[in-house]
Amino acid sequence: MTAENIPKATAKRLPIYYRYLNILHDTGKQRISSTELAEAVQVDSATIRRDFSYFGALGKRGYGYDVDSLLNFFKQILNQEHLTNVALIGVGNLGHALLNFNFHKDSNVRISAAFDTNQDIVNTVEDGVPVYPISQLADQLREQQIQVVILTVPSSAAQEVAADAVAGGVKGILNFTPIRLSVPDKVLVQNVDLTNELQTLIYFIDNFSN
């Protein structure tokens, strides 16, 4: 089965499985059942078995899954052996927090360039990452061959900045603004609305928590 045929819900769970398999590997555990994995990652075992079935026979009945084999498989599927450079657009409070987080310590993702309009930080290095004027966005993205950006700009500037990023060859945008961006079909947008997530959490607490 090709990647295009994998359901998006399954694709979103793959990094969760991968992270936990890393933990198991570090503790020396050699095998795990779908039930044990379900309890650890809070995904029911039937869903896990269905997710894994898209990739063929990854386990054995009565044995479960070999941790190292499964870890290596997902490492290849998720392209974890290849470092991906991404750009941060907008170095405000949230942008600074993301720079400080340092994705590359825990994954194959590294913020290698940042962009902002604030002249106090433009042409400086913040948390080891060079900050460029946003006017250079498209040129720098092309020059550095960066295809993924994280967008943390004010809402009023989001669409215009996204268009500049697309002009620079971007193929994916992690959008932290509440604006739903208009981009070409070939560009993937993942929306992260923190306010919406918090309001949803509060709703469930108020209506379903004992």
Each residue's pLDDT expressed in tens, for the chain with a length of 210 residues: 445 578 888 888 888 888 888 888 888 888 888 888 888 888 888 888 888 888 876 766 667 788 888 888 888 887 766 778 899 999 999 999 998 886 655 567 889 999 999 999 999 999 889 999 999 999 999 999 999 999 999 999 999 999 999 999 999 999 999 999 999 999 999 999 888 888 888 888 887 765
In the chain, what are the domains?
Answer: 3-76 (1.10.10.10), 84-196 (3.40.50.720)
* Residue 128 DSSP class: T
pTM greater than 0.85 (yes/no): no
Query: Terminal CA-to-CA distance of the chain, rounded, Å?
Result: 43
Q: Where are the beta strands (DSSP E) in 23-157?
A: 31-32, 65-66, 84-89, 109-116, 125-126, 129-133, 148-151
Q: Tell me whether residue 58 is annotated as binding.
A: no
Please report, for residues 73, 115, 189, 200, the alpha-carbon distance to residue 179 in angstroms, rounded to integers and kept in the order given: 36, 19, 11, 18
Q: Tell me whether residue 90 is annotated as binding.
A: yes
Within 8 A by CB and 6+ apart from 147, the residues are 169, 170, 171, 172
Q: Tell me whether residue 108 is annotated as binding.
A: no
Q: Tell me whether residue 64 is annotated as binding.
A: no
Q: Tell me whether residue 207 is annotated as binding.
A: no
